[in-house]
Structure 1
Amino acid sequence: MLLLVIFISLAVMKSTATQRSNITFLEKVIRDTYVPLQGGVSSIRNNWDGWTAVFSDKSHMQQQIKLLEAENSQLALENQSLQEYKQESFRLRKMLNFDNANRENYDLLPAHLIARSPNNWYECITIDRGFRQGVKKDMAVISPNGLVGRVGSVSENSAQVNLITDREMAVGAIIQKTRETNGIIEGLGDSNQLRMINIPYYSKIKEGDRIVSSGLSAIYPPGINIGTVTEVSREPNGLLLVATIKPTVDFNKLEEVFVITSYHPVEVFEEEEE
């Protein structure tokens, strides 16, 4: 009721104030009381509107951040897929070029690596080709970079390949340039090292020499890259030398290979040094 009276009084004073030069004492008291109150209410309303706008903007910004984070995650996945496609395209193009360049020497069957045991990482791999695709035991397996190993066992649609890094493997080898030193390559169970043994003490083998398969067995064709000599030392008996070989194949990045289903023994494959 009091508020209604004050409101009516204010309305009357406002309507008559323009007709009088002076205001009454009561009008002055009411005006002095009302004006600060009106200013305070207006200030509170303005502040409330401001805080409401701030909270609204903050909520909008949080929504935008979430949207941007989702878009960023999607772009990262797309970029990862694109990089994977590029890498696969590069590898397959390299495989195709290698196949085209060696068709006169080999019949090559491409295969993908589908399994690898953590317990024997450098001993064997499983590929997605078996006897239904023409794979047989003891066929040589290569990549565009060099010798990978040989087929150890075969099933209908897959085969196990024993890697040359396996300690049980042995491959006849020679120096590529001089065609001398018929040694034997042994695996060390390590992706970065092989060992060449049975090297005569008078051999001129040295660091940097390229080692290739000798072709003296019925399994491996001659001239396939095996690795590069990194060290030469003399065995304790002093009659033979032993060489440490770095493989040309990166067995940690092996994904595709070729199975040599047949080859012409008189032909010698020698990949040019890069």
Structure 2
Amino acid sequence: MGELVDFFIRSRNFILFVLLEVLCFYFIINTSNYWSATFFNTSNRYAAQVLAWSNAANQYASLRQVNADLALENQQLNARLTKLLQSKPAAPKEYQADSAFADRFKFVVAKVVNNTTQFANNYITIDKGTDDGIRPGMGVISPTGVVGKVKVCNQHFSVITSILHSEFLVSSKLVKAGEIGSAKWDGVDPHLIKLDAIPRYKPVSKGDSVVTSEFNSTFPPGILVGRVRSVGVQPNQTFHDLTLNLATNFSNLSFVYVVENRLQAEQDQLEKQVENEK
């Protein structure tokens, strides 16, 4: 307390000067219309700027929660859309999928905590594991398209084999042509992927959509893989040389959806039984 008193005593001349300046400023503003209006306009302008900065800071601070809420909402919409598509498959009118088939895909939202794109074989780490029902072999998608497949898990984390992996194949279908091929990354550009085994006689155009086909048990059919970027012909081959723009942008991947096919084990068991009997 004594030090504070000493400070005021030492600085009494400066403090008196500041108080007199404030008093003069007050009288100038209150006795002159011009200076009063100028002060009012200037103070309002700076107050508005500070308020704008404050609002921007608050909005930025809440972006994490906003993104999490949007990811949860997308999870629910994906589940509803997939159920609707599964209940109305492209089949004869007399065919009706049962409820178990329509409900076979379940989605779990997860946050990406690590992601690589610069290697020949890339992996992604998410913050969900076996405690959340995740297990190896499950497919992973983003809000825009295919991401990869779960490789290993522990209680709280999972590592995903990215579609940007030299050995990762996705059974894919050209929407317009109805032709099925395999999408595979060539290890060059993380924004592009190749689509193989599409016959040359099939009409393909730039911009055509490529989605997951019905012939895999990992992903629901109709998930976007990419769109045709260029159309060529493989030398001495009867297939198109197709390059796609990947639907998923791996450079800013924040949230993903792990896809559980509830009937996959049943399907795999039956197919394995048939293979063993051959």
- 2-structure distance, mates of 1:100, 1:221: 12
Q: Does the 8 Å contact 1:108/1:262 carry over to 2?
A: no
Q: Which amino acid aligns with 1:232?
A: V
C-alpha spacing 1:56/1:89, structure 2 compared with 1 (3 Å): farther
Q: Using the TM superposition, give the Cα deviation of residue 221 of structure 1 relative to its aligned residue in structure 2, in angstroms.
A: 3.6
C-alpha spacing 1:173/1:118, structure 2 compared with 1 (3 Å): closer
Question: 1:240 maps to what in 2?
Answer: 239
Q: Using the TM superposition, give the Cα deviation of residue 55 of structure 1 relative to its aligned residue in structure 2, in angstroms.
A: 9.9
C-alpha spacing 1:87/1:111, structure 2 compared with 1 (3 Å): closer
Task: Please say which of residues 84-93 and 220-229 is displaced more in the overlay.
Answer: 84-93
SS at match of 1:80: helix
Question: 1:99 maps to what in 2?
Answer: 79
Q: Does the 8 Å contact 1:176/1:211 carry over to 2?
A: yes
Q: Aligned to 2:184, which of 186, 202, 212?
A: 186
Q: Does the 8 Å contact 2:232/2:242 carry over to 1?
A: yes
Runs of 4+, deviation exceeding 6 Å? 67-73
Once the two structures are superposed, residues 204-232 of structure 1 have per-residue CA deviations (whole angstroms, 9 ceiling, x without a partner) of 12212111122333433433221111111
Q: Aligned to 2:58, which of 67, 78, 81?
A: 78
Q: How many residue pairs align between the two structures?
A: 209
Question: 1:202 maps to what in 2?
Answer: 201
Q: Does the 8 Å contact 2:219/2:259 carry over to 1?
A: no
- 2-structure distance, mates of 1:257, 1:80: 22
Map 1:215-226; keep pairs closer than 5 Å.
Answer: 215-226=214-225
- 1-structure distance, mates of 2:211, 2:186: 18
Map 1:240-259; keep pairs closer than 5 Å.
Answer: 240-259=239-258
SS at match of 1:123: strand
TM-score by length of 2: 0.62
Q: Using the TM superposition, give the Cα deviation of residue 108 of structure 1 relative to its aligned residue in structure 2, in angstroms.
A: 1.6
Q: Does the 8 Å contact 1:131/1:157 carry over to 2?
A: yes
- 2-structure distance, mates of 1:255, 1:162: 16
C-alpha spacing 1:216/1:118, structure 2 compared with 1 (3 Å): closer
Q: Using the TM superposition, give the Cα deviation of residue 156 of structure 1 relative to its aligned residue in structure 2, in angstroms.
A: 2.1
- 1-structure distance, mates of 2:193, 2:66: 31
Q: Does the 8 Å contact 2:120/2:166 carry over to 1?
A: no
Where do 5+ consecutive residues of structure 2 fail to align? 1-16, 26-42, 84-102, 265-278
- 1-structure distance, mates of 2:245, 2:257: 21
SS at match of 1:144: coil
C-alpha spacing 1:222/1:185, structure 2 compared with 1 (3 Å): same
Aligned CA-pair RMSD: 3.6
Q: Using the TM superposition, give the Cα deviation of residue 235 of structure 1 relative to its aligned residue in structure 2, in angstroms.
A: 0.9
Q: Using the TM superposition, give the Cα deviation of residue 183 of structure 1 relative to its aligned residue in structure 2, in angstroms.
A: 1.5
- 1-structure distance, mates of 2:20, 2:121: 60
Q: Using the TM superposition, give the Cα deviation of residue 243 of structure 1 relative to its aligned residue in structure 2, in angstroms.
A: 0.6
C-alpha spacing 1:234/1:217, structure 2 compared with 1 (3 Å): same
Question: 1:109 maps to what in 2?
Answer: 108
Q: Which amino acid aligns with 1:203?
A: K
- 1-structure distance, mates of 2:139, 2:105: 11
Q: Does the 8 Å contact 1:199/1:241 carry over to 2?
A: yes
Where do 5+ consecutive residues of structure 1 fail to align? 1-51, 266-274
Q: Which amino acid aligns with 2:61?
A: S
* Residue 167 (str. 1) matches residue 166 (str. 2): yes
Q: Using the TM superposition, give the Cα deviation of residue 250 of structure 1 relative to its aligned residue in structure 2, in angstroms.
A: 2.1
- 2-structure distance, mates of 1:213, 1:192: 18
C-alpha spacing 1:53/1:154, structure 2 compared with 1 (3 Å): closer
SS at match of 1:95: helix
Task: Please say which of residues 119-128 and 131-140 is displaced more in the overlay.
Answer: 119-128
Q: Which amino acid aligns with 1:138?
A: G
Question: 1:39 maps to what in 2?
Answer: none
